[in-house]
Chain A
Amino acid sequence: MKLRILLRESARYIFRSKLLFLLMLFSFFLHYVGLNLVQQMTISVKGLVSTVGPREGMFVSIFLSLFVGFFLSAIYGIWMVPYFHQGERSQLTFVLPVSKWLFPIVYSGSLFVLVLMEFGIMLGSFSLVFGKEAILHPKFSWSALGTCLLLEVTAFQFLLFSFSVLSLVFGQMSTLFLGAMAFIILQVAGTVFRFGFDQSVFYQAYQLLPPLGELIFNLKQTFSQGEFPWGHFGLWILWLGASALLFKRVIRYPRRHQATQ
């Protein structure tokens, strides 16, 4: 019952902050325009010219969803979640008669619903550009799409709690820069390690980090070859659990505003 009350309140907050509206607008714009551009492209391989079909279009959609999801996790984690646990509001949130465990559950659930909406917009835009038949076609691989989206959702949930923890501890602007820096480093590392260096100590350390730099490769592998990266998925789950635990620990006491805000 209390979980339902908190979820309803979280939905009201998201709705009134206009995040939902902006997400839908941004997501639709990105998917619709992006897919239209892709559809008009032609690929020439050894003189053989072909157009981009629904299958390639779906992979572009998944890639665009990844981008929107990162953006959404960052906004929700850096700005929206700390609103209740920091500064003047934190004491009032702290004395609410609910277990502190409910907060990560509510935030995770809220992000999940937002991400599902984003996926809905993604499929809607895809249908508009490639036609409904492309989705209803028997060769359309729902399982490949589903596993890709599962990977993405897990990564977004981890990012949500990581951003929230960093924002509560270091402040919002610092988190934005730290997050961007970590993102770039992991992406570059993911690409560089594809060209070797797999005996280096850095590679050993990289393998234990959240597999952000592997995500695009994993999505491609899952979508085109149907090979689910169980190892990286397990690592995402471990990091998600650790970040949720850390979040619960950080909200153990009301927090002051950070100076960087």
Chain B
Amino acid sequence: MSSLVEVKNLEVRYGQKRAVKGLTFSLGVGESVGLLGANGAGKSSTLKALLGMLPSTKGSISVLGYEPGDYRAFEKLGFAPEEGSAPEYLTGLEYLVFVGSLHHPNNRGIAQEALELLSWFELNPHQRIRDYSKGMKRRILLAQAFIGDPGFLILDEPLNGLDPLMIVKLREKLNQKRAHGTTILYSSHILAEVEKCCSRAIILREGEIVLDASLEQVIKDYGSVEKAFTEKVGRS
């Protein structure tokens, strides 16, 4: 399996505090990896370092063969941040068409794809984003990560702010994407969800990897992701 992401000995600091300490892992094409950890474990910092949003103080990162932050890697990946706000003067449709056309400037079908995505996420395409509810604003963040059908998805706490029905729908969508070979890196603290849509789990504690194994192996060794998490993170 060829690697989409190679992280070697990654260290990220906020001033004197080391948020990520010597992380080493790789992601293969078509893998669906859950990045787990308690609050402050370094999940978001790891994702931000992968995307080039944070400078790493040590180590090396390669994403789709590029340095972190290289726009050529962004052409092939979709990212949904944990928190964010799409430009509020745009309608949902205008925003997705804007993002989609930057990913695929020559794709004339991008408006149709945007309409389908908005319908799937139950969003009004012609309503300004400023008039969306909190839940809708959350869903447009997810929708923009899927536009252009990227081969690599990075989702930071994607279930935050979603209602239970949308969580089920999103899980199905992610499983479909995974079946079609999309690579997914998924940070979450909802362990049961990770168990349902990931093929591998990486558990972080205080910026270090304490477990990196296939889901099959985790279930075999610990019985469930939750038990593995409790044992490795040290909380009951």
Contact = CB atoms under 8 A, between A and B. Distances in A.
Interface string B217-232: 0000000000000000
Contact of B89 (A1, A5, A13): A13
Contact of B53 (A12, A97, A98, A253): A253
Contacts of A97: 71-72, 74-75, 102-103
B57 to A, nearest CB: 14
A251 to B, nearest CB: 11
A155 to B, nearest CB: 29
A229 interface: no
B102 A92 contact: no
Contact of B86 (A6, A92, A99): A92
Nearest to A16: B89
B87 interface: yes
Interface size class of A (residues with CB under 8 A): 20 to 34
Interface residue SS majority, chain A? helix
A12 B91 CA distance: 12
B87 A13 contact: yes
Most buried by B among A5, A97, A252: A97
A19 to B, nearest CB: 11
B84 A5 contact: no
Contacts of B172: none
B188 interface: no
Contacts of B144: 92
B102 A91 contact: no
A5 B71 contact: no
A96 interface: yes
A223 B227 CA distance: 80
Contact of A1 (B53, B55, B106): B106
Interface string A1-40: 1100110010011001100000000000000000000000
B146 interface: no
Interface in A51-74: none
B54 A5 contact: no
Nearest to A17: B89
Contacts of A98: 71, 102
Nearest to B101: A5
Given A253-B53, A253-B54, A1 B105 contact: yes
B83 A88 contact: yes
A5 B74 contact: no
Interface of B: 51-55, 69, 71-72, 74-75, 77, 79, 81, 83-87, 89-90, 94, 98-99, 101-103, 105-106, 141, 144
Please name the 6 residue pairs, one residue from A and one from B, whose CB atoms are nearest each other, closest first: A88-B85, A97-B74, A97-B75, A1-B105, A16-B89, A91-B81
Given A92-B85, A97-B74, 20 more contacts: A5-B101, A5-B105, A87-B85, A89-B84, A89-B85, A89-B86, A91-B81, A92-B144, A94-B53, A96-B71, A97-B72, A97-B102, A97-B103, A98-B71, A98-B102, A99-B71, A100-B71, A252-B69, A253-B54, A254-B53
Interface of A: 1-2, 5-6, 9, 12-13, 16-17, 83-84, 87-89, 91-92, 94-100, 252-254
10 contacts: A1-B105, A6-B102, A9-B98, A17-B89, A83-B87, A92-B86, A94-B53, A95-B77, A96-B99, A98-B102
